[in-house]
Amino acid sequence: MADSQDSSGDKHSQFPSRREFVRKSSALAVGGASWLTALDVAGAHVAGDDEIKVALIGCGGRGTGAAVQALNTEGKVTLWAMADAFHKPLERCLRKLNRGVEQRYDVQTTGSLEKKINVPPERRFVGFDAYQQAINSGVDLVILATPPGFRPMQFEAAIDAGKHVFTEKPLAVDAPGVRRVLAAGKKASDKGLAVGVGLQRHHNPGYVETIKRLHDGAIGDIPLTRAYWNGGGVWIRTRADFAKTYGHEPTEMEYQVNNWYYFNWLCGDHIVEQHIHNIDVSNWLKGAHPIEANGMGGREARTNKDCGQIFDHHAVEFTYADGSTMLSQCRHQPGCWSQVNEFATGCGGSADIGKHLIVTPSGEWRYSGPKVDDYQQEHDDLFAAIRGGQTYNETEYGAHSTMTAIMGRMATYGGKVVKWDEAINSEIDLSPASYDFAAAPPVVPNSDGSYPVPVPGKTKVV
């Protein structure tokens, strides 16, 4: 999925072992948060070196990476079940895992993971209901790496079934989905279930130490943050691609699920699917979510029919309750200035948060401590908490950052100021009436094959 980052073959040789870092810096690695406290865990109880059986739901690139990272955690971990809407990604993922070759998302494994995989054909599930079958297959933990439009119902189902969860971000694509996730997250706490959310910067010690110093007043009050995810964009999957892969012309539902990035009911637009990482850092720094947003956006570079209905650029001004501002940009336009980072401007200096650099009149500070693979670290922390019987629940900040990004999309699509309370209480539900490949999806093309695109000033967003 869209979290891809380049990694080099020798990068990880610079790092201390993950186990050593967990032992020495566990409190730091989880973002200084207070959710690692002792708890008498009920539900999916796993102790010490007991086996943790995992179901992977969503077998694309990010799901493959997450499975590798889960299988590389301390203790006995077994991939027990797999599920995907289509059989080809599942088969491809299983081949990669058995080879032990997966070099995206800062994943670098050597040798086969085959000894940690026990997924016979009867535990390989395909279709819209595959997630429920995987949840019910006798597992302890579920990895959710499907398109985010499916996240609320799948997260809710996993928690209802008493399973620990690692879920990729974002957690929803609309306000009803966010409310559903928040309710399921509370239920997870009540049941003593651990929940990890794929906002891995919270597990990066450079980010953790930089945010801590800013919280401690390194640059004084912070009236301004800036957040960017500007790049060339991601893949496009056409109807012809589907027909070549599966041997038949897709239904409209099959086409959209396969080309999910370009439909709001599945993706939420790239401000939600990608830019949430940077928005989340600003929320983390401020210790809050914004209370309003206004912005603008549109489509200039990616306007063909396979680009569905999403914008290719957004610029949003978010306002927090203390009057401070987050300026947010995200862009999918090849050949333009690229930037994926977060910055803070304070009354006594500034910070390049992504580079872990703080500049004040008295000099510079740059993080020089341990480095870890934060994609791996987020799994190490989650699995260690489960084995240690500790409460661990990242749902709330993940849901609030998801809703912040959705509010930003509301502002750019609608062209008006959007308040937090009206945004999170919106009843606009983007989900389909029926999850069936023969059914009509929530948005369909017109007679020339084009999809309706939001029009600022006209489109209803709350």
Q: How many residues does the chain have?
A: 462
Clarify whether residues 182 and 296 are in a common domain.
no
Name every residue whose Cβ is closer than 8 Å to that of residue 234 and which is 6 or more positions away in sequence: 2, 261, 270, 332
pTM above 0.85, yes or no: yes
Q: Which residue has the higher pLDDT, 259 or 104?
A: 259
How far is the C-alpha of 99 from the C-alpha of 29, rounded, in Å? 30
Phi, psi of 142 (to 5 degrees): -120, 130
101 and 128 housed in the same domain? yes
Q: Residue 11 has what pLDDT?
A: 33
Kindly list the distances between the CA atom of residue 450 and the CA atoms of 242, 250, 265, 291, 365, in Å, as whole numbers in the listed order: 18, 16, 16, 35, 51
**Residue 103: pLDDT above 90?**
no
Q: Does residue 5 lie within any of the structural domains?
A: no
Secondary structure (DSSP) of 266-303: TS--HHHHTTHHHHHHHHHHHTS--SEEEEEEE-SS--
**Domain identity same for 44 and 163:** yes
Residue 27: how many other CB atoms lie within 10 Å? 12
- What's 177's domain CATH number? 3.40.50.720
In the predicted model, what is the mean pLDDT of residues 361-367? 98
Binned at pLDDT 50, 70 and 90, residue 229 comes out as: very high
Torsion of CA 423, 451, 328, 155, to 10 degrees: 60
Q: Are residues 147 and 213 in the same domain?
A: no
Q: Are residues 141 and 103 in the same domain?
A: yes
Tell me the per-residue pLDDT of 419-444, one tens digit each, with 9 for 90 and over.
999 999 999 999 999 999 999 999 99
**What's the whole-number mean pLDDT along residues 239-250?**
98
Within-domain flag for 274: yes
Q: Which amino acid is at 396?
A: E
Q: Is residue 442 part of a domain?
A: no
Q: E-assigned strands of 25-99?
A: 37-38, 52-57, 77-84
pLDDT of 270 strictly over 90:
yes
256 falls within a domain: yes
- Relative to beta strand 339-346, strand 325-332 is unpaired
pLDDT digits (tens, 9 = 90+) for 368-387: 999 999 999 999 999 999 99
- Name the domain count of the chain: 2
Please state, in angstroms and rounded to a whole number, the distance separating the CA atoms of residues 75 and 172: 32
Residue 119 has pLDDT above 80, yes or no: yes
With pLDDT > 90 as the criterion, what percentage of the chain qualifies?
86
Same domain, 301 and 313: yes
pLDDT score of 12:
33
Local confidence band at 111 (pLDDT 50, 70, 90 cut-offs): low
Same domain, 30 and 81: yes
Whether residue 438 lies inside any domain: the answer is: no
Q: Which residues contact 276 (CB under 8 A, 6 or more apart)?
A: 169, 170, 199, 401, 402, 404, 405
H helix intervals, 388-456: 395-414, 420-424
H helices of 347-435, where? 374-387, 395-414, 420-424
Q: Is the residue at 229 inside a domain?
A: yes
What are the tens digits of pLDDT across the range 9-51?
A: 333 333 344 444 443 443 443 443 433 333 333 446 676 669 9
pLDDT of 99 reads 84
Q: What is the mean pLDDT of residues 74-88?
A: 97
For residues 365 and 379, membership in a common domain is answered with no
Q: What is the mean pLDDT of the chain?
A: 90
Q: Tell me: the pLDDT tens digits for 151-195?
A: 999 999 999 999 999 999 999 999 999 999 999 999 999 999 999
Q: Where are the beta strands (DSSP E) in 19-148?
A: 37-38, 52-57, 77-84, 124-126, 141-144
Helix (H, G, I), strand (E, B) or coil at 427: coil
Lowest-confidence region among 89-103, 104-118, 238-252, 396-410:
104-118
Same domain? For 383 and 408 the reply is no
Residues forming beta bridges with residue 37, ordered by sequence position:
391
Domain-embedded: residue 456: no
Residues 193 and 231 reside in one and the same domain: no
Tell me the per-residue pLDDT of 352-362, one tens digit each, with 9 for 90 and over.
Answer: 999 999 999 99
- Mention every residue, 6+ apart, whose C-beta is less than 8 A from residue 397: 197, 199, 202, 280, 283, 284
Beta-strand (E) ranges in 221-278? 224-231
Q: Are residues 339 and 383 in the same domain?
A: no
In which band, very low, low, confident or very high, does the pLDDT at 83 lie, cut at 50, 70 and 90?
very high
Three-class DSSP category at 319: strand
Tokens matching residue 265: 């009911």
Going by pLDDT thresholds of 50, 70 and 90, the confidence category of residue 144 is very high
Query: Could you tell me if residue 257 is inside a domain?
Result: yes
CATH of the domain at 296: 3.30.360.10
Residue found under tokens 């985010």:
148
- Residue partners of 77: CB distance under 8 A and separation at least 6: 51, 52, 54, 70, 71, 116, 383
C-alpha 158/C-alpha 151 separation (Å) is: 10
Written as six digits, the tokens of 177 are 């989905």
Per-residue model confidence as pLDDT tens digits over 310-360: 999 999 999 999 999 999 999 999 999 999 999 999 999 999 999 999 999
Write down the residue that tokens 């809710």 correspond to. 156
- Structural domain of 328: 205-370+402-424
Beta bridge mates, 228: 329, 341
Virtual CA dihedral for 56, 60, 64, 67, nearest 10 degrees?
A: -20
Dihedral of CA 101/105/108/113: which sign? negative
381 and 407 together in one domain: no
217 against 36, higher pLDDT: 217
